[in-house]
Amino acid sequence: MAAAPARAAAKRAVRVARPQASEPRPRDADRSQGEILEAATAEFAEFGLGGARVDRIAERAGVNKRLIYYYFGSKEDLFLAVLERAYEVIRGEERKLNMSEVDPIEAIRRLIAFTWNYYLAHPEFLTLLNSENLHRARHLKRSAGIATMNSPLVQMLAEVLQRGHKAGIFRAGVDPVQLYISIAGLAYFYLGNCHTLSAVFARDLLATKAKVERLSHMTDLVLGYLVRD
């Protein structure tokens, strides 16, 4: 008679010891936010702030729409987060140029080439900036970190200019912010208007040869201004 209860107890022990079926793990918060930002970047780049839809962003990211509002609050705040992330990425890549470790002319060449090639590889960055400019930068003006994010670039460029001037290579009095805006503008205007410019001048400005010529032209222009006779 005692064997039956013993067998029942043994079965219960086996059931307890047997591994339970794995339950779906909750989504990792950082991973979820990253996927939302990736999806939002694509959505805002394609449709602009006004045309973007949170429903589509949620579908792109594979998340519930409520999760987007939970993490980011609103579509406007999500757009700001996308902008901040876009600047964080490009500034991080610029730091990898190691401009302080090479001679001043090579440092400027690296910055020009990087800016040009980054804009080519990331057209979504330009469209995001276009969208924010339509809104007169009202989102970036609310950012607590955007100025701090851009300060290292200005400092890095100022250091290169100072080294170049001390070596007798560069002219004096060059504003690093103005110089960076000029470098960015030479690439930004060309790529942002390449379709209309190609039509107006009957020339494919995105052909491989044209892009090589543009980078060479930009480099000559900037160094022609910087380098002393």
pTM reported for the whole predicted model: 0.86
The mean per-residue pLDDT over the stretch 198-226 comes to: 98
| Euclidean distance between CA atoms 104 and 116, whole angstroms | 19
The predicted model gives 38-45 an average pLDDT of: 98
Q: What's the CA gap between 147 and 187, in Å, rounded?
A: 22
> Which of 2-11, 20-29, 32-41 reaches the highest mean pLDDT?
32-41
Report d(CA 148, CA 135) in Å as an integer.
Answer: 22
Per-residue pLDDT reduced to its tens digit, 21-30:
333 345 689 9
Question: Encoding tokens for residue 129?
Answer: 């900036």
Q: Which of 11-15, 49-53, 65-69, 75-79 has the lowest mean pLDDT?
A: 11-15
State residue 87's pLDDT score: 97
Indicate the pLDDT class of residue 229, thresholds 50, 70 and 90.
confident
Q: What is the CATH number of the domain that holds 178?
A: 1.10.357.10
DSSP, collapsed to helix, strand or coil, labels residue 135 as coil
Least confident of 23-32, 168-177, 195-204: 23-32
Q: Let me know if residue 15 belongs to a domain.
A: no
CB 191 within 8 A of CB 209: no
In terms of domains, do 66 and 164 share one? no
Same domain, 160 and 196: yes
Amino acid, single-letter form, for residue 36: I
Same domain? 90 vs 33: no
Domains of the chain: total? 2
Same domain for 123 and 45, yes or no, is: no
18 falls in which pLDDT band (50, 70, 90)?
Answer: very low
Query: Helix (H, G, I), strand (E, B), or coil: what is residue 79?
Result: helix
37: CB partners within 8 A, 6+ apart:
81, 82, 85
The answer to whether residue 23 sits within a structural domain is no
Name the phi and psi angles at 170, rounded to 5: -100, 155
Domain housing 34: 28-73
Both 68 and 87 in one domain: the answer is: no
**Do 52 and 107 have their domain in common?**
no
Chosen domain end from 16, 49, 73: 73
CA 66 to chain centre: 25
Rounded distance between C-alpha atoms, residue 62 and residue 55, angstroms:
10
Here the CATH number for the domain that contains residue 50 is 1.10.10.60
Is the pLDDT at 14 greater than 60? The verdict is no
Domain stop point among 73, 102, 129:
73
Residue 2 lies in a domain: no
